[in-house]
């Protein structure tokens, strides 16, 4: 064989091998995708995955795009927007927040020189006297078990799936009575992850949120920064959602269905404990309306929504008539700054029904960035958020939770992200200015490096992202927060 023939043979061999490598690469990629799909499907059934990981639900959530055009078209009655407050643009958020509401007291003086010091020690708590209204309600419940106390807990992915809050709720209900998990949206990306309610839904739902639809500056976002409608021009099966008490868990005695304006033909068909459904027309009267249903004990409820059209749907509240009720109002990816986009009329509408005694604001993890040195913009925005809640829920105490520790890879080692301290100090400053209570979760966890210790413990308390708690860690934090509140009530 000539040298030319050998070269041709060698080239052909290399080309074939290259093709085989490319094919194998595609096969490996396809196999990886299939494994990921199988793991996501199997997630709710495997306790190991539930214990150490969170289900991202990326197929049904992250691949959805932000399409504000849907809102500009027809699905929502334009009269809804007439009832919403005009919202500030990004520059107005940086204005003097003392003018947020004339009915609120002026912002308190803070020592700017102290906050400018990068070595200032942030206290474990602040402004505990502000919790007096909540403690008075709790003490009144202890004397009269027929009363009700409500805690509404807003947060980001640190509490999604009822993490942290499920522990606090269980502890309070054990001591003071009460049942049910409070507010639950009609649809949720954490339904398969949550342990405290069996939540299923289906049909042509269209979902909107403060995070997913960040460009929508003025929209009818509900209590937890979300709302749902029927997909426009949908001719498929009706919308439905069902809620059940987990096996071996206590049910609830009443259920509230929350909805807003929309189609005058919308009907809710509600079945409790698998009994024949009751039919309720969804009267188009208010920005926030409710249907209240009661029974001796409810372990299962199914809601079917017919002729939904452009009616706005928010969620249900599963609760007892007395005792302690705690709402988990989580929204993945929420920095907290967007809460002012839930309009004043909307929050006041929900307040007229729910009347929480304690509001908890647990945000911060989504603004931590090691390269960010100044957080003045965050201070102004969160000051405005707190004032917004003070205005809409005047009867409630407010507790601001200081951010948890977060891991950051520096070289070959994990350390605390340097911006954890900056965000924490900013949150403390917001609490001091607005007069609301403050609890330092970072300090309660153990301070600097604690998230690394929690993640790398023999029995890990946090996930390998060095950011989020697992069920064990969330339970520990829930116990810490409950103990803090009970101890503060003694003072």
Per-residue pLDDT of 347-397, as tens digits, reads: 999 999 999 999 999 999 999 999 999 999 999 999 999 999 999 999 999
pLDDT band at 1 (very low <50, low <70, confident <90, very high): low
Return the number of other C-beta atoms located less than 10 Å from residue 347's C-beta. Answer: 22
pLDDT band at 34 (very low <50, low <70, confident <90, very high): confident
- pLDDT score at 233: 78
Q: For residue 64, is pLDDT > 50? A: no
d(CA 356, CA 150): 5
- pLDDT score at 263: 87
- pLDDT score at 157: 96
- pLDDT score at 97: 37
- pLDDT score at 10: 57
Mean pLDDT of 327-356: 97
- pLDDT score at 398: 98
Mean pLDDT of 438-450: 98
- pLDDT score at 7: 55
- pLDDT score at 68: 30
Summarised one tens digit per residue, pLDDT across range 219-274 is 999 999 999 999 987 777 899 999 999 999 999 999 999 999 998 899 999 999 99
Of the candidates 326, 393, 398, 339, the residue with the CA atom closest to the CA atom of residue 366: 339
pLDDT band at 33 (very low <50, low <70, confident <90, very high): low
Strand partners, 227: 208
- pLDDT score at 4: 55
Which range has the worst mean pLDDT, 48-52, 141-145, 356-360? Answer: 48-52
Q: For residue 58, is pLDDT > 70? A: no
Question: What six digits make up the tokens of 36?
Answer: 């990921």
Which range has the worst mean pLDDT, 98-112, 136-150, 284-298, 411-425? Answer: 98-112
Q: Are strands 323-330 and 148-155 parallel, antiparallel or unpaired?
A: parallel
Q: For residue 75, is pLDDT > 60? A: no
Q: For residue 287, is pLDDT > 70? A: yes
174 vs 79 pLDDT, higher one: 174
Summarised one tens digit per residue, pLDDT across range 181-210 is 999 999 999 999 999 999 999 999 999 999
- Is 404 in contact with 156 (CB distance < 8 Å)? no
- Is 260 in contact with 289 (CB distance < 8 Å)? yes
Q: For residue 438, is pLDDT > 90? A: yes
- pLDDT score at 369: 95
Mean pLDDT of 426-438: 98
Q: For residue 422, is pLDDT > 80? A: yes
- pLDDT score at 12: 62
CATH superfamily label, 46-490: SGNH hydrolase (3.40.50.1110)
Kindly state the percentage of the chain with pLDDT values over 70. Answer: 80
Mean pLDDT of 404-409: 96
Q: Which residues contact 454 (CB under 8 A, 6 or more apart)?
A: 405, 445, 446, 460, 461, 462, 469, 473
Of the candidates 322, 35, 380, 401, the residue with the CA atom closest to the CA atom of residue 150: 322
Q: Where are the domains of the chain?
A: 46-490
Summarised one tens digit per residue, pLDDT across range 304-318 is 999 999 999 999 999
């Amino acid at each position: 064989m000539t040298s030319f023939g050998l070269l041709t043979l060698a080239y052909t061999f290399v080309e074939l091998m290259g093709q085989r490598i490319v094919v194998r690469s595609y096969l490996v990629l396809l196999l990886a995708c299939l494994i990921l799909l199988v793991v996501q499907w199997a997630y709710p059934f495997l306790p190991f995955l539930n214990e150490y990981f969170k289900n991202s639900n990326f197929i049904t959530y992250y691949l959805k795009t932000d399409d504000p055009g849907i809102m500009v078209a027809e699905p929502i009655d334009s009269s809804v927007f007439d009832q919403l407050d005009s919202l500030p643009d990004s520059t107005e958020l940086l204005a003097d927040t003392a003018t947020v509401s004339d009915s609120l007291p002026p912002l308190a003086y803070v020592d700017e020189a102290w906050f400018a010091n990068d070595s200032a020690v942030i206290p474990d708590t602040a402004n505990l006297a502000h919790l007096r209204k909540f403690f008075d309600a709790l003490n009144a419940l202890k004397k009269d078990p027929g009363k009700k106390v409500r805690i509404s807990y807003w947060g980001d992915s640190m509490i999604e799936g009822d993490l942290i809050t499920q522990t606090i709720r269980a502890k309070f209900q054990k001591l003071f009575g009460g049942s049910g998990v409070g507010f639950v949206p009609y649809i949720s990306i954490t339904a398969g992850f949550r342990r405290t309610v069996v939540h299923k839904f289906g049909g042509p739902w269209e979902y909107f949120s403060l995070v997913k639809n960040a460009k929508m500056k003025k929209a009818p976002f509900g209590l937890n920064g979300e709302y749902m409608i029927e997909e426009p021009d949908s001719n498929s099966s009706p919308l439905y959602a069902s809620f059940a008490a987990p096996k071996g868990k206590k049910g609830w005695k009443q259920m509230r269905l929350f909805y807003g304006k929309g189609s005058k033909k919308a009907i809710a068909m509600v079945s409790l404990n698998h009994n024949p459904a009751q039919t309720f027309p969804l009267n188009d009267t208010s920005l926030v309306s409710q249907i209240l249903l009661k029974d001796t004990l409810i372990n299962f409820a199914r809601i079917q929504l017919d002729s939904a059209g452009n009616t706005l749907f928010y969620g249900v509240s599963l609760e007892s008539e007395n005792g302690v009720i705690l709402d988990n109002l989580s929204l993945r990816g929420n920095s907290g700054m967007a809460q002012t986009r839930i309009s004043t009329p909307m929050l006041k509408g929900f307040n007229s029904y729910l009347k929480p005694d304690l509001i908890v604001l647990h945000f911060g993890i989504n603004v931590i960035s090691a390269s960010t040195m100044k957080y003045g913009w965050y201070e102004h925005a969160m000051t405005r958020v707190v004032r917004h809640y003070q205005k809409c829920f005047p009867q409630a105490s407010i507790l601001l939770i200081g951010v948890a520790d977060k891991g950051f890879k520096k070289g070959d080692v994990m350390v605390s992200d340097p911006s954890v301290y900056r965000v924490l100090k900013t949150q403390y400053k917001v609490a001091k200015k607005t007069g609301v209570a403050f609890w330092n979760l970072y300090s309660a966890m153990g301070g600097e490096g604690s998230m690394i210790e929690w993640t790398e413990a023999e029995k890990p308390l946090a996930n390998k992202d060095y950011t989020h708690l697992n069920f064990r860690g969330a339970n520990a934090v829930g116990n810490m927060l409950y103990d803090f509140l009970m101890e503060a009530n003694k003072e």
